[in-house]
Structure 1
């Protein structure tokens, strides 16, 4: 009987001791924190798109109606002398073009301004679309009065790489019009019978076209004569040509061709 009483007493002591410890313990702290996202899951900043710096010759989808003004005082006041606007101007010819599969002066589907443009398909060899002043024209374009040639160029539904075409301006020291076998212009240090072109053939990327002309786009091209390198000295501008081949440019279109002439002179007397 005594043993049972002792055992009951010990059980009561153990129970009371356990309750005492539990009640005396400090409650666990309640922690409140703002949820965060680990850096690896954080959203990356959006990169700013690269915008190429502007060039002297932009590539507008619509060419301007009037001549653009350039910063230099010498180029800010220029008169426009048209070569082609829906038709060839009087006194101009493309009869001296060579190695073209087809050419039409009345293209209606791909036009920059007006009703018509010129559509050209060069041959597999290098084709030349050659604009020349005719002997009976009465036109006199003096080299020291002509500032630039300006034209609009497109590949239609195809691109034109900026190294796929060259443009050249030609002249004479004897006649104000183009004539074959004119040997009045020479280049210092050049062998007379050299097969290299006498007048510089300049690729589009040297004319400020800093990328390919995209499909459906019209590029406004400027050929500033004073910027041409290796140009011989001559008195009269007698023509110009666009040169490419079918494997580089299967077809192209030209529109709104004109000379920019210094204001104090008149291209047509």
Structure 2
């Protein structure tokens, strides 16, 4: 009797458990439909990290290091050169700017923006191109031989406006016939250049090729060096007879020049 009762109770328990079991095909309500985990989805293309531009220091020394035959330092090499002034508060004797062109205004005695001394040159271009042209006069008695001229050095500022390093070019000109500038001097030629070419005979070098790696900021003076031996496509000539600064008025609306001078090698 007891055995039959125990078997009956076990059977009841088994049947009750089977009644609560869910079918494998049954999905409980109230649960979201299974989806692929987010980290398996296709990710959007990431924007690459672009580092900010490096702030290269403003050049305070010549961009090219002159080296003496004895292998001396840059400072000693420059100090060994003789200085021939072109402008220090006034034009030096034998120099002229009367051949300048396309300028709205030009003064040699400006006092508001000065690098050294009392005065500086102030220039305002009037056209799309303005040219400040320094030339040696026929009666100057100056003789600048190309093989003795190392560099042109000057200080440049935009006053209260910046000067873009691609907004100005500097060119040194010369002659094979006379040691002074003549407007129709055709004694210099460039090999392979046709005579009626509209391109300038002497290279016009932009400021960024002269080591100026950023714009000249407002209120700042930059010391510019034009090392003649580093100029590209320079023709061969005997005498340096002048140089000019050429601007585009949409990039440089005004500028100031001070302490203009040549660096000359000792005569052998």
Q: TM-score, normalised by structure 1?
A: 0.74
Which of these residues, 106, 109, 114, is aligned with residue 112 of structure 2? 109
Cα deviation for residue 125 of structure 1 reads 2.2
Which of these residues, 230, 234, 238, is aligned with residue 241 of structure 2? 238
For the residue of structure 2 that corresponds to 1:234, the secondary structure is: coil
Structure 1 residue ranges without an equivalent (≥5) = 1-46, 61-66
1:1-269 paired onto structure 2 within 5 Å: 50=54, 52=56, 58-59=59-60, 70-73=65-68, 75-76=77-78, 77-264=80-267
- 8 A contact 1:104–1:119 mirrored in 2: yes
Q: Counterparts of 2:210 and 2:64 in 1: how far apart (Å)?
A: 16
- 8 A contact 1:124–1:247 mirrored in 2: no
**What is the Cα-based RMSD across aligned positions, in Å?**
2.1
Q: TM-score, normalised by structure 2?
A: 0.74
For the residue of structure 1 that corresponds to 2:245, the secondary structure is: strand
Cα deviation for residue 247 of structure 1 reads 1.3
4+ residue runs over 2 A deviation = 49-52, 67-71
Q: How many residues align?
A: 209
Structure 2 residue ranges without an equivalent (≥5) = 1-50, 70-76
- 8 A contact 2:169–2:205 mirrored in 1: yes
Q: Counterparts of 1:196 and 1:112 in 2: how far apart (Å)?
A: 34
Q: Counterparts of 2:63 and 2:228 in 1: how far apart (Å)?
A: 16
> 1:171-224, CA deviations, whole angstroms, 9 ceiling, x for partnerless residues?
000000000110000000000010000000000000000000000000000000
